[in-house]
């Protein structure tokens, strides 16, 4: 399973290639670049919040723009493209096909992202990553808001094209000898998340157009002064973006399904239970969107319906956790870097899920809503679970992409720093939320508990910054100068569970 190893080629040959591993490499490099850029913004936010009063960010407008671009960037320009990178590398190999179903479409989907990223970053909008009207419709400054809207529009089209490509590749291009039920769980995770994208994204695409015409003043869909309803936007937005959470988390779980059995040197506990949980999660992901909106004045009945819909998503997630633990149980686990990230990710996934049950219980939601608790909660998902799974998988792919090994010791140091940093920042945010601190504030009053907890977070953020710097140096140094990997068994695992689908790929020998 050599993913990329070819003779060194000039960069433009990779850039103009339509081959799945080349597109995968482009996705990887781009998503990592935006990871570090978005991380720098996060560090700026945490340092600014170190104590009350302005520290080094000049005004609240700059601060508001920073958290908006941080959120938009991390979701759409790091997590989504990184999942596409993994899918591009692995899906064709897993279904034993020579490439993605539509190679040119694949390249187009990738090349839509750089212009979209330019719009988001150069615009630097200020309305938060969910652009809630009426603020975004009547108050947010131009042209940043329009640039954000067009940027997201392009990203949405790109996601849909990518999703179509994954679905067709898996369903139509898989080898005739390979029944769908035997497709590895990583393949199933991409099938599930791509189907969610197809159903969910068009709703937001429509909402974005309506927001744009509202801003132009020709319509008033979300503007109460013109008879519109801002809460309608919230419904459209969360109908897309609650399932979108699963679009991000399902591939990350799929990546863990690749790593956990391999590094436990034991077959997966239950393939069919993993498949079942993915399919179930994809369906119930559409039953819970309005749990983001309890405080908008929903009726008791509405809240009850969405609470039940949200709780229904928990058993499927719990099945994945069980499957991981049962796979590791009695295995001969080898805690190389990818395994450490996966196990850490599962621990934080469990914590995030437990916090989610608190959020969805109606009376408790009114305590946590729009406070720092929520920031901590979703970061445990997007960072603690999805980014952890992604980092682990990147270490896992590294020898197959570069032919060299990363530095194992520094990989582990990276994990330890990030794990401690993540716990310090995101667990503290939960408690800070219970003390009533609102999210998205540039400054805060001198409440001793708030100051203490913001300072703990700043320490955690610095650990995260140091850890990510080590990561960056390790990636760059090892890809050029790392010791050559033993391509038969780069992680020294041995055993027959190593690469069960080591398919001959016509493009790579």
Partner 1 sequence: MSGHSNWSEWVYIGVVVALLAWVGAEAWNIERLVEHVPENAEVIKVTGQQWFWTFEHEDGTKETGELHVKKGVPYKFEITSKDVIHSFNIPDYLVLMDAVPGRINTVWFLPVDEGEFPIQCREYCGLIHYNMRGTLYIEDGA
CB atoms within 10 A of CB 172: 10
Q: According to the binding rule CB under 8 A, does residue 270 interact with partner 1?
A: yes
Binding partner 1 (rule: CB under 8 A), the pick from 314, 420, 456, 493 is 314
Q: By rule CB under 8 A, what count of residues binds partner 1?
A: 58
Q: According to the binding rule CB under 8 A, does residue 266 interact with partner 1?
A: no
Length of the chain: 509
For partner 1, the closer of residues 128 and 202 by Cβ is 128
What's the Rg (C-alpha) of the chain?
22
For partner 1, the closer of residues 133 and 156 by Cβ is 133
* DSSP, residue by residue, 50-108: TSSS--SS--HHHHHHHHHHHHHHIIIIIIHHHHHHHHHHHHHHHTT-SS-S-HHHHHH
With CA atoms as reference, report the closest residue to 431 among 463, 460, 454: 454
Span 362-381, contacts to partner 1 by CB under 8 A: 362-364, 366-367, 369-371
Three-state SS annotation for 206-251 = HHHHHHHHHHHCCCCCCCHHHCCCHHHHHHHHHHHHHHHHHHHHHH
For partner 1, the closer of residues 103 and 356 by Cβ is 356
Please, how many CA atoms are within 13 Å of residue 41, restricted to the half-sphere of its CB? 20
Binding mask 225-254 for partner 1 (x = CB under 8 A): x---xxx-----------------------
For partner 1, the closer of residues 7 and 272 by Cβ is 272
For residues 197 and 158, give the distance between their C-alpha atoms in angstroms, rounded to a whole number: 11
Written as six digits, the tokens of 393 are: 């998988």
Q: According to the binding rule CB under 8 A, does residue 473 interact with partner 1?
A: no
Q: According to the binding rule CB under 8 A, does residue 438 interact with partner 1?
A: yes
For partner 1, the closer of residues 98 and 439 by Cβ is 439
For partner 1, the closer of residues 15 and 308 by Cβ is 308
For partner 1, the closer of residues 355 and 399 by Cβ is 355
Distances (CA, A) of 309 to 250, 283, 357: 18, 11, 12
Binding mask 130-149 for partner 1 (x = CB under 8 A): --xxxx--xx----------
For residues 268 and 459, give the distance between their C-alpha atoms in angstroms, rounded to a whole number: 38
Whole-number minimum distance, CB 448 to partner 1, in Å? 14
Per CB under 8 A, the segment of 112-120, 171-179, 244-252, 303-311 that binds partner 1 is: 303-311
Is residue 107 within 8 Å of residue 23, measured between CB atoms? yes
Q: According to the binding rule CB under 8 A, does residue 297 interact with partner 1?
A: yes
User: Using CB under 8 A as the criterion, which residues of the chain lie in contact with partner 1 when the complex forms?
Assistant: 60-61, 64, 126-128, 132-135, 138-139, 224-225, 229-231, 270-273, 295-297, 300, 303-304, 307-308, 311, 314-315, 318-319, 322-323, 326, 357, 360-364, 366-367, 369-371, 435-436, 438-445
């Amino acid at each position: 399973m050599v993913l990329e190893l070819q003779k060194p080629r000039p960069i433009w040959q990779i850039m103009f290639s339509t081959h799945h591993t080349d597109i995968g490499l482009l996705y990887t490099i781009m998503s990592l670049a935006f990871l570090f850029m978005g991380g720098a913004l996060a560090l700026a936010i945490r340092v600014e919040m170190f104590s009350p009063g302005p520290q080094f960010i000049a005004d609240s407008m700059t601060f508001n723009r920073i958290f908006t671009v941080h959120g938009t960037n991390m979701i759409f320009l790091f997590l989504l493209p990184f999942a596409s990178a993994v899918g591009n590398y692995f899906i064709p190999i897993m279904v034993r096909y020579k490439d993605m179903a539509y190679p040119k479409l694949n390249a187009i989907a990738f090349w839509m992202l750089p212009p979209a990223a330019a719009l988001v970053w150069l615009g630097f909008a200020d309305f938060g990553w969910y652009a809630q009207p009426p603020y975004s419709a009547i108050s947010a400054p131009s042209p940043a808001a329009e640039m954000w809207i067009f940027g997201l529009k392009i990203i949405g089209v790109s996601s849909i094209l990518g999703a179509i490509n994954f679905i067709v590749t898996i369903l139509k291009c898989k080898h005739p000898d390979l029944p769908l039920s035997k497709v590895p769980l990583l393949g199933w995770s991409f099938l599930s998340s791509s189907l969610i994208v197809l159903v969910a994204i068009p709703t937001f695409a429509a909402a974005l157009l309506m927001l744009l015409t509202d801003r132009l003043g020709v319509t008033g869909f979300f503007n109460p002064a013109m008879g519109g309803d801002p809460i309608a936007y919230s419904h459209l937005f969360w109908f897309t973006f609650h399932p979108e959470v699963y679009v991000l988390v399902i591939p990350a779980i799929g990546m863990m399904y690749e790593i956990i059995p391999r590094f436990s040197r034991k077959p997966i506990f239950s393939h069919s239970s993993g498949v079942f949980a993915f399919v179930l999660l994809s369906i119930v992901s559409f039953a819970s969107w309005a749990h983001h909106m309890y405080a908008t004045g929903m009726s008791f009945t509405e809240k009850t319906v969405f609470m039940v819909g949200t709780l229904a998503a928990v058993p499927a997630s719990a099945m994945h956790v069980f499957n991981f633990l049962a796979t590791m149980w009695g295995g001969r686990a080898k805690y190389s870097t990818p395994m450490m990230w996966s196990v850490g990710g599962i621990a934080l996934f469990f914590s995030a899920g437990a916090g989610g049950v608190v959020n969805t219980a109606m009376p408790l939601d009114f305590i946590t809503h729009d406070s720092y608790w929520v920031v901590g909660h979703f970061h445990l998902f997007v960072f603690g679970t999805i980014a952890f799974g992604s980092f682990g998988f990147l270490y896992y792919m590294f020898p197959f992409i570069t032919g060299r090994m990363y530095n194992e010791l520094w990989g582990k140091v990276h994990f330890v720093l990030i794990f401690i940093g993540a716990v310090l920042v995101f667990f503290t945010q939960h408690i800070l939320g219970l003390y009533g601190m609102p999210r998205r504030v540039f400054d805060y009053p001198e409440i001793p508990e708030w100051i203490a907890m913001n300072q703990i977070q700043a320490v955690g953020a610095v650990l995260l910054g140091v850890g990510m710097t080590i990561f960056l140096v390790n990636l760059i140094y090892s890809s050029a100068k790392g010791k050559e990997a033993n391509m038969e068994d780069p992680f020294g695992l041995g055993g027959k569970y190593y690469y069960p689908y080591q398919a001959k790929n016509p493009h790579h020998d």
